[in-house]
Structure 1
Amino acid sequence: MATSFHVRSNSLPTKSHPFTSEVEETLSRLRSSQAASTIGHNINGLQDLHDCVDKILQLPLIQQALLQAGNRKLVDELLNGSLRILDTCSIAQNALLQSKESVQGLQSVLRRRKGDETELKSEIKKYLASRKAVKKTIHKALWNLKGMENKRSASINEERVSMLKEVEGVTFTIFESLLSLISGPRTGSMLGGFSLVSKLIRPKRTACEEDEKDINEFVKVDAALVDHKAIKSDNIFCLQNQLKELESSIQDLEEGLESLSRRLIKARVTLLNILNN
């Protein structure tokens, strides 16, 4: 689902401005790192990118370009796009929160169980049911993002604010990857093959290392629990470690998204203020 963006912004009136150069450099870095870096790294890159966007929106020449009558339709698209990005961010945050609560519930049972496998199996079923609900929500969101991607392409070459459209496109692409990571593979064995998700979570390794290490923490726990009848006391310790790693990964992603969300809101407010003044 990853999308390539080749938008040129030669018509941007502040092409030589340091803020503009900073956006171009960050966009280039994000495009080149999407297949090799962790999702957390790319979320941090989005934070930097939208910091730059807010700075660019403060520039008088950009504000003048946005206020030109001929650009009003495109500005409306940017506003709608920023709202969809915030909605997608919220979906990811809710999915992470729901996943974390399920992980913590399972951890609690594992810590206090005293040979009672009935409670453990019941909590595992709750976890898997929660994961199914999360995946359903994410798949719907990914479908909607795919539809918006097709709509975006029609006006991506519009003059003057084309860079802002490219920022929107790259942001959506990284959110697609994040949602895919949380969801995991849709079909086939959870440990078989390597989707975009598994390649995004860690740098590329040798083939023998990939089989064990290049599956992200969500998929590892899913695979460990999918046949919960096979869970015995001798592999409980391994499951506890996997849950601990997953909880840590979720925490990192939550913190990154919370910080990114604040920047997205700030840039949107700045854009609205420009139009309302």
Structure 2
Amino acid sequence: MAAYHTRSISFPSSQHPLIPEFDEQLCRLRSSEAASSSSTSLSSKVSGLQDLHDCVDKLLLLPLNQQALSKQPNEEWVDELLDGSLRLLDMCNTAKDALQQTKESTQELQSIIRRRRGGESSLSCEVKKFLNIRKAVKKALHEAMENKCTFSLLNQDQEIVSMLREVQSITLAVFESMFSFISGPKSNSWSLVSKLMNSKKASCENVNKSNEFVNVDAALNSLLISNKSKKSDSMLEENAQNELQKLEMCIQDLEEGVESLYRRLLKTRVSLLNILSH
């Protein structure tokens, strides 16, 4: 998880109303990191990031901040800020790709289950195809996290620099939460499969209400096991369809938030480039 550093205000917060607004939004996002991981809480964090970056864009319009950023264009912290903004855009693109791939395969599998052409053998092949796509998505997210950006202690004498660094750090932390949510814990899905296979009642329940991705993995793995044993189970099939529908709705919500966040990240980077080029 990204590390945070306490920022001391070098000028009175009453000097401009954006300063306390920035601090309030940042504090709210930090507090949300301790919240339970669910699609609702994750969407709330992404929404909070959008508001925070909107505030940053307004701060970058202030002449005092523009002067502070542009007066030493060759400083090391300039490169760090620009590199950090680029890496966050890359992570945002990775999230977009992961959600898009999963959504497309989710919609395709739902359609196949509804049509039910070709019997259990054909369905098993399609389920395996979906799970393989999930593995590829998880691998891409894992690699992105291994190459994630880190933020050193930048020039603490420049208030706006410190604020931008904190924004990049909290943005990275939210992406970490998102990637972990999409991937799910390695052991969790098989634990859910066991519950599903050992209880007919559990197969109709949302075993892990907090994570739609994990639920789909578990439901499809249990359906796959059932088909392998030549024991067609309409209850497991219905449960898989229900979980896929929930996942599609979850992805739709996250996609909208990530796309909006990408536009804000890009706008902040362009603003930085414009300021530093003068």
Choose from 210, 217, 220 the match for 1:222.
217
- Which of 1 and 2 has greater Rg? 2
1:144 and 2:143 matched: no
Moved over 4 A (4+): 12-15
Partner amino acid, structure 2, of 1:221: V
Q: 1:165 to 1:15 in 2, by over 3 A?
A: farther
Q: 1:241 to 1:6 in 2, by over 3 A?
A: same
Alpha-carbon distance in 1 for matches of 2:260, 2:189: 31
Q: What's 1:247 paired with? A: 248
Alpha-carbon distance in 2 for matches of 1:95, 1:119: 25
How many residue pairs were aligned? 254
- RMSD over aligned CA atoms reads 2.2
* Cα deviations by residue, 1:110-167 (Å, 9 ceiling, x for unpaired): 110157112211110100110110011111111112xx33xx1343745321011001
Alpha-carbon distance in 2 for matches of 1:123, 1:253: 25
Q: What's 1:203 paired with? A: none
Alpha-carbon distance in 2 for matches of 1:22, 1:237: 48
Choose from 87, 92, 114 the match for 1:89.
92
Alpha-carbon distance in 2 for matches of 1:5, 1:73: 20
Q: 1:156 to 1:45 in 2, by over 3 A?
A: farther
Alpha-carbon distance in 1 for matches of 2:10, 2:74: 13
Q: What's 1:32 paired with? A: 31
Alpha-carbon distance in 2 for matches of 1:251, 1:60: 39
What secondary structure, in the 3-state scheme, does the structure 1 residue paired with 2:152 have? helix
Alpha-carbon distance in 1 for matches of 2:166, 2:5: 8
Q: What's 1:199 paired with? A: none
Give identity over the alignment, percent: 52
Mapping of residues 164-203 of structure 1, within 5 Å: 164-186=164-186, 188-190=187-189, 192=191
Q: What's 2:70 paired with? A: 67
* Cα deviations by residue, 1:233-255 (Å, 9 ceiling, x for unpaired): 23211111100000000000000
Pairwise CA distance, 1:77 = 1.1
Alpha-carbon distance in 2 for matches of 1:7, 1:73: 21
Gap regions ≥5 residues in structure 1: 194-210
What secondary structure, in the 3-state scheme, does the structure 2 residue paired with 1:190 have? helix
1:265 and 2:266 matched: yes
Alpha-carbon distance in 2 for matches of 1:214, 1:71: 50
Alpha-carbon distance in 2 for matches of 1:103, 1:16: 51
Q: 1:254 to 1:70 in 2, by over 3 A?
A: closer
| Matched-pair contact (CA < 8 Å) for 2:208–2:215 | no
TM-score by length of 1: 0.85
Gap regions ≥5 residues in structure 2: 193-205, 228-232
Alpha-carbon distance in 2 for matches of 1:92, 1:171: 13
Alpha-carbon distance in 2 for matches of 1:121, 1:70: 58
